[in-house]
Amino acid sequence: MSHRIVVSILTLSFTLAACSQEPGVASGPAAPEQAAELAPVYAAPSEQPVDPFTYANYRQIRVRHVDLDLDVLFDEKVLDGVAVLDLVYVDSDATVLVLDANDLDIKSVEANANGAWSAAPYTLGPDDPVKGSALEIELPDVATQVRITYRTSPEAEGLQWLSPEQTAGKEHPFLFSQFQPLYARTMAPLQDTPAVRITYSAKLKTPPELIAVMSSAQDPDGVRDGDYSFDMPQPIPAYLLALAVGDFGFKAINDHIGVYAEDYILDASAAEFEDTPKMEEAINDLYGPYKWGRYDMIVLPPSFPFGGMENPRLTFLTPTLIAGDKSLTNVVAHELAHSWSGNLVTNSNWRDAWLNEGFTSYVENRVMETLYGEDRAVMERSLDLDALKRDVAEAERPELTALKMPADIAHPDDAFSQVSYAGGMFFLKFLETRFGREAFDPFLRDYFDQFAFKSITTEDFLNYFESNLWANNQDAVTKEEIDAWVYQPGIPDTIETPSSDAFAKVSAQQMQWLAGEVAATDLKTAAWSTHEWLHFLNTVPDDMILDQFADLDGAYDLSNSKNAEIAFVWYMKAIASGYEPVLAPLDRFLMSVGRGKFIYRLYAALIEHGRREWAAEVFARARSGYHPIAQRRIEGIFAEAD
Ligand SMILES: [Zn+2]
């Protein structure tokens, strides 16, 4: 079973048979020369490298459509039903279909050949802690579909089943999915790799008093009757399948954008996210029209382990974004931006995750600039740079600090540090600066069009960049500079240093306070944004004395901040310095927030600073409220410390 995994001790050896691309070394057929002076150095791979985290034999047979018919059984915490997969043969001689499955109870497998269904022999391979099991199905000649009857496990890592007590309303249970990077296979037998795109249709049967939504077309005004149908006509990778079932309402923001949430937070969510149409307009202006129809959001219960998840047509969000002042809505800009970068143009392999997250973080920052001005965009980049430096310093090995991840990452999670997000953003910022927005903006727009609904590699991007931007202005960058960003470890020296006037003023006040010239109550904080607070707290010295903590806490009650980002930074500083009054509010925070970005580091800091027992006691109480992904990660953090 895959729930007591210690991520860092996983040792898996992968053979990347087709992945012969090394930095700067062109292999495969020679690309035509662009210009005499510039021989192409970043040849696109002649074929997509194999994804080491899938068993699927997608180079022989591709699944192109999935139809699901599932009962949502809250009492047993399982989905029970049938998946029908439509097949396309890449290799016409293929006779075996290999799918990904994890914790699935397979009851029967049939194949459709020439319109006749018959039982198909199958085997379910051994359970790998990361990849799950291979489901191998022997196909009769000319089989075009398989039908698999199955049920999920109550322990399925991609599904969180909440009891009524774990919701705000306390009356009804709640179910939501999180399938990125490789958990769709815990919901259905699939080709669970970003290299393969599928369309899907689904029927979900739920208790009649609940609503079901998916990452697909749906009618927000539909009847609540426990019988729901979905259709997703645009091809997506399996990790973008998504579902949520519970007792929640809907509030429109405009004619094609709206938000689902539990009643207690519905109005606040609609108000917090009311700028979403302006964000959409900003991206439309830069990179062309939104291609997915409706854009809705759902605010999930606090155990949702991420800030947001870009499920197409239906972004999933943590309630910790509802700060009351729109200060954390860059996450919405981020998830919306994924409708271009990530969902439209997708990394074909998790080694290339920066193609999803770096581009998205870049677009996010451009949106924040358009809506709220240059100052806010600079402040956000400045905070991002701090986070990037921290993640680079803490990386387990240098190879994990280059944009292109090494071939032997132990888990796709390794590709989701700030290196992919902020590092990718700063790389694109570097290109923007060197080539100028007048060239870079249309280039990116064409890139999104060129690769829409495709899954690509870093080398595909570099090859396209070389032909369509670099070739027109060969002196703008050097190969050494590009390689330093993409293939070399560490932070390149060509990175922008974001300089924020607002932060400089905060720093000046901070110095006065640290020098004892002013009391905390005399700091001019009334107009500070969340970002300014984060800068202030991030940059106080690590050896701040307890009296100084008490001074700040007394003036601003930071231990009880309702802003999760501010509370988190405060807790981290307080844990490191042994400021004990923070423990009771921190206990409440850890019991009520399941967002991984906060809780993983908090548990690790508690362990590091001599509070392992305290942390273990809190985790024992909080564990059942955390998502299975978060449970696994935190168990790994404790095990690593032993
Ligand atoms: Zn993202």
CA of 216 to the centre of ligand 1 (A): 19
Give pLDDT, residue 6.
Answer: 30
Nearest partner of 567 among 601, 617, 543, judged by Cα:
601
CA of 215 to the centre of ligand 1 (A): 16
C-alpha span between 337 and 194 (Å, rounded): 18
With beta carbons less than 8 A apart as the criterion, state whether 458 and 486 touch: yes
C-alpha span between 572 and 574 (Å, rounded): 5
CA of 437 to the centre of ligand 1 (A): 23
Render pLDDT for 345-391 as a digit per residue (tens, 0 to 9): 999 999 999 999 999 999 999 999 999 999 999 999 999 999 999 99
Q: Which is higher by pLDDT, 482 or 47?
A: 482
- What is the 3 state secondary structure string of 107-153? EEEEEEECCEEEECCEEECCCECCCEEEEEEECCCCEEEEEEEEECC
- Catalytic residue at 496? no
What's the whole-model pTM score? 0.91
CA of 510 to the centre of ligand 1 (A): 33
C-alpha span between 301 and 319 (Å, rounded): 7
Render pLDDT for 211-222 as a digit per residue (tens, 0 to 9): 999 999 888 888
C-alpha span between 432 and 364 (Å, rounded): 15
Run of H or E including 215: none
Q: What is the mean pLDDT of residues 46-60?
A: 90
Q: Which is higher by pLDDT, 168 or 152?
A: 152
Return the CATH class of domain 501-641: mainly alpha
- Which of 24-28, 64-68, 550-554 shows the lowest per-residue confidence on average (mean pLDDT)? 24-28
Render pLDDT for 549-571 as a digit per residue (tens, 0 to 9): 999 999 999 999 999 999 999 99
145 Cβ contact list (under 8 Å, min separation 6): 84, 85, 86, 87, 111, 112
- Catalytic residue at 579? no
The total number of residues shown for the chain amounts to 642
C-alpha span between 580 and 221 (Å, rounded): 50
Give pLDDT, residue 39.
Answer: 54
**DSSP single-letter state for residue 365:** H
With beta carbons less than 8 A apart as the criterion, state whether 38 and 470 touch: yes
CA of 175 to the centre of ligand 1 (A): 22
**Mean pLDDT value across the chain:** 92
CATH code of the domain made up of 340-486 = 1.10.390.10
- Does pLDDT of 207 surpass 90? yes
C-alpha span between 614 and 602 (Å, rounded): 12
Q: What is the mean pLDDT of residues 293-300?
A: 97
Helix (H, G, I), strand (E, B) or coil at 96: strand
Tell me where in the chain the CATH 2.60.40.1730 domain(s) lie. Answer: 56-247
DSSP track, 3-72:
SS--GGG-------TT---BTTB--SSPPPPSBTTB---SPPPSSPPPPTT----TTTEEEEEEEEEEEE
**Paired tokens of 96:** 């075996």
DSSP track, 335-346:
HHHTTTBTTTEE
CA of 17 to the centre of ligand 1 (A): 29
- Which of 76-80, 150-154, 428-432, 629-633 shows the lowest per-residue confidence on average (mean pLDDT)? 629-633
CA of 508 to the centre of ligand 1 (A): 34
Helix (H, G, I), strand (E, B) or coil at 593: coil
**DSSP single-letter state for residue 415:** G
- Does pLDDT of 10 surpass 80? no
Render pLDDT for 586-622 as a digit per residue (tens, 0 to 9): 999 999 999 999 999 999 999 999 999 999 999 999 9
Nearest partner of 348 among 52, 99, 65, judged by Cα:
52
Report the helix count and the strand count for the chain, using DSSP H and E.
18, 21
In the set 55, 183, 200, 421, the catalytic residue is 421
- Does pLDDT of 2 surpass 60? no
Give pLDDT, residue 7.
Answer: 29
Q: What is the mean pLDDT of residues 578-584?
A: 97
Looking at the DSSP bridge assignments, the partners of residue 456 are: 347
CA of 210 to the centre of ligand 1 (A): 29
Looking at domain 56-247, which of 3.40.50.12780, 2.60.40.1730, 2.60.120.10, 1.20.120.1760 is its CATH number?
Answer: 2.60.40.1730
Render pLDDT for 90-130 as a digit per residue (tens, 0 to 9): 999 999 999 999 999 999 999 999 999 999 999 999 999 99
C-alpha span between 458 and 547 (Å, rounded): 50
With a pLDDT cut of 70, the percent of the chain lying above it is 94
Nearest partner of 40 among 32, 28, 48, judged by Cα:
32
- Does pLDDT of 11 surpass 90? no
Q: What is the mean pLDDT of residues 30-35?
A: 39
- Does pLDDT of 251 surpass 90? yes
Other beta carbons within 10 Å of 515: 8
With beta carbons less than 8 A apart as the criterion, state whether 428 and 359 touch: yes
Give pLDDT, residue 152.
Answer: 98
- Which of 16-25, 80-89, 514-523 shows the lowest per-residue confidence on average (mean pLDDT)? 16-25
Q: What is the mean pLDDT of residues 502-531?
A: 95
Give pLDDT, residue 27.
Answer: 34
- Does pLDDT of 33 surpass 60? no
Measured N-to-C along each axis, helices 424-435 and 353-372 cross at an angle, to the nearest 10 degrees, of 60
Give pLDDT, residue 168.
Answer: 81
In the set 272, 335, 364, 635, the catalytic residue is 335
Give pLDDT, residue 537.
Answer: 97
CA of 331 to the centre of ligand 1 (A): 8
pLDDT band at 547 (very low <50, low <70, confident <90, very high): very high
Tell me where in the chain the CATH 1.25.40.320 domain(s) lie. Answer: 501-641
Give pLDDT, residue 553.
Answer: 97
With beta carbons less than 8 A apart as the criterion, state whether 62 and 191 touch: yes
Looking at the DSSP bridge assignments, the partners of residue 94 are: none
Tell me where in the chain the CATH 1.10.390.10 domain(s) lie. Answer: 340-486
Render pLDDT for 256-290 as a digit per residue (tens, 0 to 9): 999 999 999 999 999 999 999 999 999 999 999 99
Give pLDDT, residue 535.
Answer: 97
CA of 334 to the centre of ligand 1 (A): 6
Give pLDDT, residue 5.
Answer: 31
Give pLDDT, residue 30.
Answer: 38
C-alpha span between 100 and 486 (Å, rounded): 31
With beta carbons less than 8 A apart as the criterion, state whether 151 and 246 touch: no
